[in-house]
Amino acid sequence: PSFRELMQRINEYLASNEADIRRQNTTLVNALQEMNRSTPATSINAMPLDSARQVLERNFDTTDGGFGEAPKFPHPTNLERLLRHWAHSRRDGMEDRRALHMAVFTLEKMAHGGLFDQLGGGFCRYSVDNHWVIPHFEKMLYDNGALLALYGEAWAATGNPLFERIAQQTAGWVMREMQAPEGGYYSSLDADSEGEEGRFYVWTPATVRALLDADDYRLFARRYGLDRDANFEGHWHLHVNRTIDQLAEEFDSSRATIEAALARASDILFRAREQRIRPGRDDKVLTAWNGLMIRGMAIAGRHTGVTAWTDSAERALDFIRAELWRDNRLLATYKDGRAHLNAYLDDYVHLIDGILELLQVRWRSGDLDFAIELAEIVLARFNDADGGFFFTSDDHEQLIQRSKPNHDDAMPSGNGIAAKVLGRLGHLLGETRYLEAAEHTLKSVWSGMESMPHGHTSLLQALEESLFPYQCVVIRGSGEELEDWRRQSAQPYAPARYTLAIPGNMNALPGDLNNRTGTGHTLAYICNGMTCGTPVSDRDLFLRQLDLQR
């Protein structure tokens, strides 16, 4: 039949079956709404934390790291869960080295694979094989924000220089290629250029040989697999094939000599690659994704001491506040000078998360005030009376169903991040409304955490911080001494600690922070949950009290 005839038949069917169709629609809507409903738990416990650890080990790839079979995704929330599990076990005196190994081994394998851009930095979306060698070449901001934070934390936890280098290269790529002059972060790079996936990234031995001298080529080829068979449609995608130690032995050279030669060769190839036609860039600025990268820059900058990354995060936050904050409401997207679309739960909570991490590196009163404004809107506009938060606000365009994002997907779940940031703000400010909302969220999704804990690792982080309240350190003082105390509190990896270094002359702070008054000298207020000890003014005593929590 023609299109006109088809439309006539549809119209006739609707006219003759309208009552049945309306009943079916009502049944469907009720079923969709029922999917959001669950009986909240009356209490919560640590069982899902241990269950997630067990499931992750069962799914762990002992050969190549990661979880499950190809296609393999980085799953940064799972790796962060393992790092946090290890840190918690160490504090309890029963160190779970296996949890640490699973996280670190996976991070090493991804860093050495083709998932990571060995020349330009940054991670691609996923690997099409089990070995992290050939990726889908698209680069996403949200992946790299989460992974930048994770490599910064892994560096703090282990001191492995590989993790510091990967953080440096990833942050460098973001600032070089993904940050707008105005400050916001762009969304993604396409997988293809000139109509071919990966064309921008792959090489042939002949091309590389023409760029390098003979000795450097031989070394580079051994390092990155150019002396082996092609691995991508007749071309070679770079991945680490020999370790530095293996090359040092093979070429009878020191590690320093090998590393210098590889750095020299990589720089030559990078500059040559820059002359190619580049993959397309999606230059939208998305609020939620920017929140993830602000968080990543802040965490990595805190652990490595690279102030340029903190500066980058501040520029992005300032851009969002200037361009995507309108009439005390957040907008979701910005492009070509225009911000639009009501922000979603993910936009609010990921931005709050980024702000809270940024405050641990550098205090700005306006940033905390902004985070509180955002949190108040989350409570007022997204709250579900049965616990947890809807993806859309109560004044959003009417949809068939208001979904509630509980399960981690490509990004951490909105409800997981909401429970975490509200819990942190609640402890920091002494605001019981935030603490109650966080607890109600956890109780409302308890059945999901029990049945599939490894799919709710963002919520598990909030659960852990609810059951075992973290140490909150507020330092008042000035100058280099204030910064020194802040740095000491930031190292080593201590995920159960939250630190603010606030200049002593700052007054009229929100909530309980106003009780952490400054004096003429450096002073630290150390609280465990809602219980606070006597302020500490002696640096050695301060360090000893921090050590008790490491």
Q: Where does 47-195+282-467 sit in CATH, by number?
A: 1.50.10.10
Residues 34 and 30: their CA atoms lie apart, in Å, by 6
In angstroms, the CA 84 to CA 90 distance is 10
Q: In sequence order, which residues have a C-beta less than 8 Å from that of residue 292 and are 6 or more positions away?
A: 141, 142, 145, 146, 350, 353, 354, 411
Cβ neighbours of residue 398 under 8 Å, at least 6 residues apart? none
Question: What's the pLDDT score for residue 397?
Answer: 84
Q: Rounding to the nearest 10 degrees, give the CA dihedral for residues 143, 145, 147, 151.
A: 170
For residues 515 and 532, is the Cβ–Cβ distance under 8 A? no
State pLDDT tens for residues 1-40: 789 989 998 998 988 888 888 888 777 766 666 665 667 8
Count the Cβ atoms, other than its own, within 10 Å of residue 8: 12
Whole-number percent of the chain with pLDDT over 70: 98
If you count DSSP H runs as helices and E runs as strands, how many of each does the chain have, helices first? Answer: 21, 15
What angle in degrees, to the nearest 10, is found between the helix axes of 3-16 and 18-36?
80
> What percentage of the chain has pLDDT greater than the value 90?
87
Asked whether residue 550 carries a pLDDT value surpassing 60, the answer given is no
pLDDT beyond 70 at 151: yes
Q: What does the DSSP 8-state code read for residue 114?
A: T
Q: How far apart are CA 220 and CA 525, in angstroms?
A: 52
**Residues in the chain, total:** 550
Say whether pTM exceeds 0.85.
Answer: yes
Q: In sequence order, which residues have a C-beta less than 8 Å from that of residue 183 and are 6 or more positions away?
A: 315, 316, 318, 319
Cis-peptide, bond into residue 161, ω within 30° of zero = no
Please state, in angstroms and as integers, the Cα–Cα distance from residue 74 to each residue in 115, 143, 358, following that order: 9, 8, 24
Residue 150 pLDDT > 60, yes or no?
Answer: yes
Q: Which residues contact 150 (CB under 8 A, 6 or more apart)?
A: 76, 79, 80, 83, 107
Predicted pLDDT at 37:
65
Question: Helix or strand or coil: residue 133?
Answer: coil
499's enclosing H/E stretch is strand 497-503
pLDDT of 542 reads: 95
Q: Residue 163 to residues 105, 160, 471: CA-CA distances in angstroms?
A: 11, 6, 26
**What pLDDT score was predicted for residue 39?**
79
User: In Å, how far are 172, 186, 266 from 168, measured between CA atoms?
Assistant: 6, 19, 15
Q: Among the CATH numbers 1.10.3470, 3.30.70, 1.10.357, 1.10.10, which is that of 201-275? A: 1.10.10
Q: Is the pLDDT of residue 206 over 60?
A: yes
Structure letter (DSSP) for residue 456: -
| β-pairing verdict for 285-286 and 329-335 | antiparallel
If we measure between CA atoms, which residue out of 79, 48, 87 comes closest to residue 61? 79
Distance in angstroms (rounded) separating the CA atoms of residues 239 and 352: 36
How many angstroms from the chain centroid is the CA of residue 521? 36
Q: What is the pLDDT of residue 470?
A: 85
What are the phi and psi torsion angles at 497 (to 5°)? Answer: -125, 140
Please give the pLDDT value at position 369: 98
What is the residue extent of each domain of the chain?
3-36, 47-195+282-467, 201-275, 471-547
Q: Is the pLDDT of residue 400 over 90?
A: no
Which run of H or E residues covers position 449?
helix 446-451
Closest CA to 362 of 475, 502, 495: 502
pLDDT, average across residues 419-445: 97
> pLDDT per residue over 438-449, tens digit each?
999 999 999 999
Structure tokens at 381: 């506009």
Q: What's the pLDDT tens digit per position in 275-314?
A: 999 999 999 999 999 999 999 999 999 999 999 999 999 9
Residue 136 has pLDDT above 70, yes or no: yes
Q: Within a 13 Å sphere around the CA of 412, how many CA atoms are in the beta-carbon half?
A: 34
- The answer to whether residue 54 scores a pLDDT higher than 60 is yes
Kind and range of the H or E element at 334?
strand 329-335
Does residue 211 surpass a pLDDT of 60? yes
Q: What is the mean pLDDT of the chain?
A: 95
pLDDT value at 149 more than 60: yes
pLDDT at 549: 56
- Cis amide bond preceding 492, omega within 30: yes
Two structure tokens written together for 468: 């075992």
pLDDT attached to residue 36: 59
Q: Buried b / exposed e across 37-52, counting CB within 10 Å, b at 16+?
A: ebeebeebeeebbebb
Task: Give a three-class secondary structure readout of 193-240.
Answer: ECCEECCCCCECHHHHHHHCCHHHHHHHHHHHCCCCCCCECCEECCCC
Q: Are 483 and 443 contacting, i.e. CB atoms less than 8 angstroms apart?
A: no
Q: Quote the distance between the C-alpha of residue 125 and its chain's center.
A: 14
Q: Hey, CA dihedral for 234, 237, 238, 240, is it positive or negative?
A: negative
pLDDT value at 398 more than 90: no
Digit-coded pLDDT (tens) for 324-353:
999 999 999 999 999 999 999 999 999 999
Cross-strand partners of 502: 476
Rounded Cα distance, 346 and 287, in Å: 8
Average confidence (pLDDT) over 183-202: 98
Element (H or E) spanning 500, and its range? strand 497-503
Tell me the per-residue pLDDT of 447-470, one tens digit each, with 9 for 90 and over: 999 999 999 999 999 999 999 988
Does 67 have pLDDT greater than 90? yes
State residue 519's pLDDT score: 83
